[in-house]
Structure 1
Amino acid sequence: MDPEAQARRNIDRQLVAAGWVIQDAKAIDLSAGLGIAVREFPLTGGFADYLLYVDEKIAGVIEAKPEGHALIGVELQSGKYLAGVPKRLPAWASPLPFAYESTGVETRFTSTLDAVPRSREVFTFHRPDELLRLLRLGPAGQVRTRLASLPPLVPTRLWAPQIEAIENLEKSLAEGRPRALIQMATGSGKTFTACSFCYRLLRHAGAKRILFLVDRNNLGKQTESEFQNYQSPENQYKFTEEYPVQRLSGSAGVAGASKVVISTIQRLYATLRGEELDDEADEGSLFESGDATLRKEPMPVDYKPGFPIETFDFVVIDECHRSIYNLWRQVLDYFDAFLIGLTATPTDQTLGFFHRNLVQDYSHARAVADGVNVGYDVYRIETQITQQGAKLAKEPGVMVPHRSRLTREKRYKELENDVTYTANQVGKDVISGDQLRLVIKTFRDRLPTEIFPGRTEVPKTLVFAKTDNHAEELVDVIRQEFGKGNEFCQKITSKSHRSPDDLLAEFRTAYFPRIAVTVDMIATGTDVKPLECLLFMRSVGSGPYFEQMKGRGCRVVDPAELKQVTSDAVIKDRFVIVDAVGVCERDKTESCPLDRKPTVGLDKVLDLAGKGVADADLASALAAKLTRLDRKLTPEQRQTIEQAAGGQSIASLAADLLSAADADAAAQQAATDHALASAEEATEEQIAAAESDRAREALRPFRKTELRDAILATSRVADIVYDEQNLDALLGAGFDAAARAKAEGQLADFRQYLEENRDRLEALQILYSKPYRAGLRLRHVKELREQLRAALKLAEPVPQLWRLFEAVEPDRVARREGDAVVDLVALVRHALDRASPLVPVRQTIHQRYDAWLAQCAAGGRVFTADQRRWLDAIRDHVAESLTIAPDDLEYVPFNAMGGLGAAHRLFGPQLPEILAELNTALAA
């Protein structure tokens, strides 16, 4: 078969799959279907390879070329045919609206209905009913036309970076740019931004349907909630009251009425394949499992008639992880849609995939400067076992605790040999109770003295563990060392005893739990605004994934909301990473790739199988690993796997996988599937499709979580060993040098600002004066605060500057309570006189008040109980406002005590003198 004939054969197959009826020019029957593709149709300028009839009128042409032929240069030829339809023939328009150029492997499409017709590559041909829909919309109704004339954005409930992102995105879409990337820092409102532009695309651009891809299933629930709560700025309706939102689940597929479909990429792929996906297969993050695989190319995708390429007009990719454009790339290429990426942590590859069309670049640094994010400090805890591991010596008669990974049964037995374990094995293969206790004790003891000085409550803390078993041990140790009950610390993983969503909601809004331990469930995207501390008990090799994990702590929170869950917290102006494993010090890659060599772990291979990956390489690798494993198993372990596999033995599973990877068998199946003659060989494409089908069938049992867990439980070291011999030693604990240097630099900027503006701002003129002149007022201090906000990019100057002094000179900084703006006076005074301690203004005024009372008593002035009650209230007013005037006695709290009249009756003519004395004696 010559190349052009082969191309036409492939085109025929694709047209039939898309619902077209293929006919010859001499035997046209327009009643045979909605869409008729007529071969070799004579036109004014020559013969069209295919003329497309839609609803008995000519709508377009297909120009066929042999495989490998460049198609963009063919567009002129197609264009001639569009205008070459004889006038007497029924046509939708002249020139014709649609043109395709295709080799059967590559296809390009142009719609002249668009305001600016531009060809684009498509996976295959559109269905006839889709072209009919576009025809009925007319030129003015096309999405790509309407994108160029969207109404002005209504900025209600949007702030500047969100407005900028939406307007820049819409400009990019109006220009017809197929891909756009929005970078917005964690906590800056990416999802709300996405809801806003999705609403506009549906309401004003006429989008048929939007796909919203999320990193994991629980983020899909969170996104669905965002859409449900989104209120239109144009008519006040909720989003879901106007447009149905569907979260893809099971095998039901996309509902016809849905306007937004939320899914993970692996569930979307399973739906595209018409397959079931284990409920837990999209619980894990792509950031956690890594995206590079044993595969040599992306996941294979075949056309599915019930899931045509026009299903979505836009695809929004939230947290566009590297696997989106590696492993799953062809899933996205399948749809004839614009791609819109959302991320807080773009890599070079991300930018490359989105054609470097970065329509918004709102980084974490900008978000911190704007007060949308908070920065972080790193507090390092180093212990000997954490860094070096240890050795468990075999001793006759000494029983060592072991725990079965499969049943969690704990047994005591002698070691068969010495066990030397590395730092990487700590928490995974070996549990060192003393290492856990030492880290948690150090964390507990340093919380109120160094990490969060003066705080009495444990801040909301998230602990990252290595495994679910490690998380169990950590929860137990944390409860013991803090002396608290079950509610104080909870594990939140996919294996939690309660719904992870319920636990997460409590962690977010309730007082308990104070500490949550997770493996990766809360590592990406999950919103816990009151979170102030992250404790890393595991390392991370991926740079973007680590940034995602750090992002859990950077969200700002309203002080009132923070106080609801942590009553002694004043304001969240930073979060602290407590690094117990050196994760902040290690170099990190842009992703967590798997080695394509046989050293790839069984857990990663099984994870890929669970996510729907299926090819001969993966089947072969898994078969080899299962064969090796089978030789090591006990009869009981084999039985456990067989039960999980529905009666199929591990040997049988491996045999099926090996058979699926057999290239000769795949070629034979391809020949059978395509009914090839004995002398005719299957094409590489046909063989690849057969290999994929065979691998998918053999890998199907591994979609079940129960089987994967059973295999992993038996594949690891039989038991987790508990080290009770070696005592750990604390090597060091404290904020890292970088954090201290950063704080010192910011304080230097603060001092420089004070010096440069000492003659410009009235507050500084008074505070710099020597001798000190009175007259400082609250308005002066508030003016200085606003100036500092703008000049030093400090969202809340008072608590942030106080925290900087705590980091640099903790021994000279007193605990600050409340949220008094007048403490800026104390900060300025301490900056000008470094030898003086930094204490809150309230504390200073209380001390001066006590000294004034003592001086009065020494001079024979004694106050009654009622007078003391008034004087105490005046003291508290000065502590908040810096001064007191007679008119102030008419307001809270004095009005409840009788106001100015009651004060005059109580103090008589001495009242003005007493107020003047207090203003002088207590002056800050």
Structure 2
Amino acid sequence: MTDKEATARIKINKLLEAAGWRFFAEGSTPANIRLESNATITSSDLDAFGENFEKTGKGFIDFLLLDAKGFPLIVLEAKSEGKHPLVGKEQARKYAESQNCRFVILSNGNLHYFWDLARGNPYLITSFPTPDSVTGYRQVTPNPQRLIEEQVGDDYIALTLRPNYQSEAAWRNEAERPDYIKANKLRFLRPYQLQAVHVLQQAVQDGKERFLFEMATGTGKTLTAAAVIKLFLRSGNARRVLFLVDRLELEDQAKKAFVALLSADFQSVVYKENRDDWRRAEIVVTTVQSLLFNNKYQQLFSPTDFDLVISDEAHRSIGGNARAVFDYFVGYKLGLTATPRDYLRRFDSAKSGTRDPREAERRLMLDTYRTFGCENSQPTFRYSLLDGVKEGFLINPTVVDARTDITTELLSEEGYAVTLTDDAGNELEETYKQREFEKRFFSDATNQLFCKTFLENALRDPISGEIGKAIIFAVSQHHAAKLAQILNQMADRMYPAKYQSDFAVQVTSQIADAQQFTINFVNNNLLGSANFLPAYKTSKARVCVTVGMMTTGYDCPDILNIGLFRPIFSPTDFIQIKGRGTRKHDFREQLFDDAIKDSVTAPNKSAFKLFDFFANCEYFETEFNYDETLKLPKPQSKGSDDPQPPPPPGGTYAHMGDDLIASLQVEQITAEGMKIDRMFFEKFEDAVRDNATIADAVEAGQWDRVIDYVNREVFDKPTEYYSLDKLRKAAAVDRRLGLREILEKVFGLIPRFKSKDELLEEEFAKFVSDAKPDEAEAIPAIKNFFKAYATSHAVRGIIESGHFTDLATNPYFSTRDFTAVPAKYRALIPNYIKDYVSLNQFAP
């Protein structure tokens, strides 16, 4: 047996045992692994198995995995590490058919595929399914034709809520119908939502198993998802559905929606650790963070536990390490996103460089579209904000472009220069570029100017006449507290004795009950209600000042004003924040006096204002009309002719003492690092784990706030001087770590830092899954090229310049290595890596 064959055998045996398969009986429980038909083995045979584990005198040996009754369940075709597992595909199919097996596993110990012969193509898996899971999975016999032919009308959800609604008198009477629908909470699919379901049915007919719905915020993605879930469960093409969200507050919200829409037919639960409720439910809702923690998704679930996985806000819930959770499960996949890929249509990544925040967004979006099998980066179904506005379902913003000299200079290429005075009275000039400004600089004068401009120009409530409900997005929690204080002070002067400091409320993770505040704001009872008009239920608090809590999935249709009091660098964040105001609303729904109702001249929300103090709309090149531009007074600042601080003293250090070096020793530090480095990292772990603000935000999946807080409140403090560079060195990993990855390790979301080669292997496995190379014998050469191009700047330069003769002297990747790569992969791999692989993670 060769080393590669022996290694593959050991790995496969361990994977089988880890998944609960047994080579030998355990008490009264029989073995459920057999080698070939009629073949038996002993423990000694297993330890020293033949000359070649793939061949015997009778031919190829397969693992035959049995069900609880001893009947064939899965054929496992094993290959040596040097062979791609898919080379055994047809051989395994024949053996499976001869054994009346529906399922096949193809593995070489490193790459594994699960193949449901009744469904479609082999699916890349990271662990083997358990016996119970496959037995349950077998209960669902996929019948795509039933799914395709299922009649889905606009009342598809209404029929679940009230199956006989059409025969009831109140429905048949058109005058009574609106009140009947409201009283019974019937939900009907809008034309575009119905079209989305029909497009998915067509995609299934075309042989697709992955789908992506790109639908603008406010268009009812959850209702559409409920229709898709019912379609799969009702047609027998799914036994259980997993609905993934990326934030803790969206978990309960989604569960409540599915209970309200589908509980008459299907049970919905939120997955909780150490509870088996999910096994008795058809719809399981959870956050990706819950499953990532200590790799729970691998420990508690089998790849075949869910037949349909839906990823809400897919670009977030499958990003980074969360992608592993999504890819782990076999079956149909649906992604929902409000962020259109075309949003970056004019972004040139080659000119902007890899550090531009839009580059990460671009790669994330491309990866999302690739993950869901969207050819030519086109979603399965698209319904944009402009579509919603055109058809009367959504509202476009009125952009209030209100720039100051400070914000204009800040967003220039050079950044914003400000002269400060240090403790000794020395004047120092500092330049604040975009990211630095977000963390460090906000003057009181500028904050007051923002708030004054906002209050003087905000839309008023059409019923009560007070400032319309608003959400303001601040730079940080400290900045949010400042803004709330200024707004409350100004509101006291505008409306004496009316608010008692309840006009503006800070809603951030540091605030107790902040999540409940967001719910109360929607329900119009935040800090009280009906402050101006007793018969009108609207929140006493008019403005919520937040950082990131009220971005994704927050539905408050009576919002009239959105304030961007900070620069935004993520297209996804901009789309989400802007989307908080696009929903339509009839304000008479909150009014309980019919006489007043009749006097309201404009009860329907027809616009909302987006206050943009940092040219965010221009930064993202939106197509909205700038309906209103305000000229603000110039802030007072010092001129540019102020004297510059003197340069630091130069020169060298001259040793003037008597003592000289007596001995010198050189020690090579291993990959484990110095003890002081390891202790430094451990102290950092303790510091952030003990911080309740960080822990709560991590649990809620609010990574933007976590990273902002650590950068601002933990790094570069006089006590320890923690910094990202120091932590990278202390971690002693052979590649560049990001702050999020470090924090995920600290909080147990990942068990350890993966090495550079482990990440390369994972990226290559994704490439293989995507490209499906047929040239099995060339896989080692293709992998070698993939790794060299991803990790070596020199190799990339040679390939991109076309100076292939330089490979002759390259110690990392030679001319012979390059010629061994099939011609089509020499072009395919560089293009693939540019689009889908972040090279920054492989830097030392």
Taking structure 1 as the reference length, the TM-score comes to: 0.54
Partner of 2:513 in structure 1? 498
The Cα shift of 1:41 comes to: 5.7
Matched, 1:229 2:249: no
**3-state SS, counterpart of residue 121 of structure 1:** strand
Give aligned pairs, total.
Answer: 563
**In structure 2, what is the Cα distance between the partners aligned to 1:315 and 1:533?**
36
The Cα shift of 1:74 comes to: 2.4
Partner of 2:211 in structure 1? 180
**3-state SS, counterpart of residue 333 of structure 2:** strand
Give the letter for the 1:585 counterpart: E
Give the letter for the 1:338 counterpart: Y
Partner of 1:438 in structure 2? 449
Partner of 1:58 in structure 2? 72
Give the letter for the 1:33 counterpart: P
Partner of 1:122 in structure 2? 125
Partner of 2:101 in structure 1? 96
Give the letter for the 2:373 counterpart: H
Partner of 2:482 in structure 1? 473
Partner of 2:269 in structure 1? 246
Maintained 8 Å contact 1:656/1:698: no
Matched, 1:489 2:520: no
The Cα shift of 1:176 comes to: 4.7
Deviation string for 1:715-740 (max 9, x for gaps)? xxxxxxxxxxxxxxxxxxxxxxxxxx
**3-state SS, counterpart of residue 56 of structure 1:** coil
The Cα shift of 1:461 comes to: 1.6
**In structure 1, what is the Cα distance between the partners aligned to 2:743 and 2:519?**
37
Give the alignment of 1:153-172 within 5 angstroms. 153-156=152-155, 157-172=188-203
Partner of 1:572 in structure 2? 605
**3-state SS, counterpart of residue 113 of structure 2:** strand
Partner of 1:581 in structure 2? 614
1:253–1:543 CA distance, 2 compared to 1 (3 A): farther
CA-based RMSD: 4.4
Give the letter for the 1:143 counterpart: P
The Cα shift of 1:103 comes to: 1.2
**3-state SS, counterpart of residue 77 of structure 1:** helix
Give the letter for the 1:53 counterpart: L
Matched, 1:352 2:370: yes
Deviation string for 1:143-169 (max 9, x for gaps)? 355754663124211121111112222
Maintained 8 Å contact 2:270/2:286: yes
**In structure 2, what is the Cα distance between the partners aligned to 1:269 and 1:147?**
35
1:429–1:218 CA distance, 2 compared to 1 (3 A): same
Give the alignment of 1:226-305 within 5 angstroms. 226-230=257-261, 239-240=262-263, 242-249=265-272, 252=275, 255-270=278-293, 272-273=295-296, 303-304=298-299
Partner of 2:303 in structure 1? 309
Maintained 8 Å contact 2:522/2:555: no
Partner of 2:23 in structure 1? 22
Give the alignment of 1:718-729 within 5 angstroms. none
Deviation string for 1:387-414 (max 9, x for gaps)? 446756549xxxxxxxxxxxxxxxxx88
Deviation string for 1:163-216 (max 9, x for gaps)? 111222234345552311011221111101112221332333252321111131
Partner of 1:765 in structure 2? none
Deviation string for 1:795-841 (max 9, x for gaps)? xxxxxxxxxxxxxxxxxxxxxxxxxxxxxxxxxxxxxxxxxxxxxxx
**In structure 1, what is the Cα distance between the partners aligned to 2:242 and 2:446?**
47
Give the letter for the 1:353 counterpart: T
Give the letter for the 2:539 counterpart: Y
**In structure 2, what is the Cα distance between the partners aligned to 1:355 and 1:702?**
31
**In structure 2, what is the Cα distance between the partners aligned to 1:428 and 1:117?**
50
Maintained 8 Å contact 2:133/2:305: no
Give the letter for the 2:732 counterpart: A
Partner of 2:553 in structure 1? 525
**In structure 2, what is the Cα distance between the partners aligned to 1:191 and 1:75?**
39
The Cα shift of 1:8 comes to: 2.0
**In structure 1, what is the Cα distance between the partners aligned to 2:457 and 2:733?**
60
1:507–1:426 CA distance, 2 compared to 1 (3 A): farther
**3-state SS, counterpart of residue 109 of structure 1:** strand
Partner of 1:751 in structure 2? none
Matched, 1:336 2:330: yes
Of residues 207, 226, 235, the one that matches 1:204 is 235
1:460–1:423 CA distance, 2 compared to 1 (3 A): farther
Matched, 1:460 2:469: yes
Maintained 8 Å contact 1:455/1:569: no
Partner of 2:112 in structure 1? 107
Give the alignment of 1:540-551 within 5 angstroms. 540-551=568-579
Matched, 1:318 2:312: yes
**In structure 1, what is the Cα distance between the partners aligned to 2:15 and 2:280?**
26
The Cα shift of 1:454 comes to: 13
Partner of 1:143 in structure 2? 142
- Where in structure 2 are there 5+ consecutive unaligned residues? 40-55, 156-187, 342-364, 410-415, 525-537, 623-683, 701-706, 751-844
The Cα shift of 1:62 comes to: 1.8
**3-state SS, counterpart of residue 256 of structure 1:** helix
**In structure 1, what is the Cα distance between the partners aligned to 2:290 and 2:744?**
19
The Cα shift of 1:373 comes to: 0.8
Of residues 65, 69, 77, the one that matches 2:91 is 77
**In structure 2, what is the Cα distance between the partners aligned to 1:203 and 1:700?**
43
**3-state SS, counterpart of residue 585 of structure 1:** helix
**In structure 1, what is the Cα distance between the partners aligned to 2:200 and 2:57?**
42
Give the alignment of 1:797-812 within 5 angstroms. none
**In structure 2, what is the Cα distance between the partners aligned to 1:469 and 1:391?**
21
**3-state SS, counterpart of residue 284 of structure 2:** strand
Of residues 33, 37, 44, the one that matches 1:36 is 33
Maintained 8 Å contact 1:210/1:315: yes
Of residues 367, 372, 383, the one that matches 2:388 is 367
Give the letter for the 2:142 counterpart: V
Deviation string for 1:208-250 (max 9, x for gaps)? 32111113111222212211221xxxxxxxx335433222355
Deviation string for 1:358-417 (max 9, x for gaps)? 33211111111111111122112222344446756549xxxxxxxxxxxxxxxxx88676
1:488–1:414 CA distance, 2 compared to 1 (3 A): farther
**3-state SS, counterpart of residue 108 of structure 1:** strand
**In structure 1, what is the Cα distance between the partners aligned to 2:590 and 2:746?**
47
The Cα shift of 1:519 comes to: 0.7
**In structure 2, what is the Cα distance between the partners aligned to 1:433 and 1:75?**
68
The Cα shift of 1:579 comes to: 0.8
The Cα shift of 1:463 comes to: 0.8
Give the alignment of 1:791-830 within 5 angstroms. none
Deviation string for 1:691-714 (max 9, x for gaps)? 99xx9999436889xxxxxxxxxx
Give the letter for the 1:307 counterpart: F
- Where in structure 1 are there 5+ consecutive unaligned residues? 86-94, 231-238, 275-302, 396-412, 590-601, 614-621, 642-649, 664-687, 705-924
1:472–1:583 CA distance, 2 compared to 1 (3 A): same
Partner of 1:848 in structure 2? none
The Cα shift of 1:512 comes to: 2.2
**3-state SS, counterpart of residue 308 of structure 1:** coil
**In structure 2, what is the Cα distance between the partners aligned to 1:65 and 1:702?**
34
1:440–1:258 CA distance, 2 compared to 1 (3 A): same
**In structure 2, what is the Cα distance between the partners aligned to 1:76 and 1:379?**
63
1:530–1:508 CA distance, 2 compared to 1 (3 A): farther
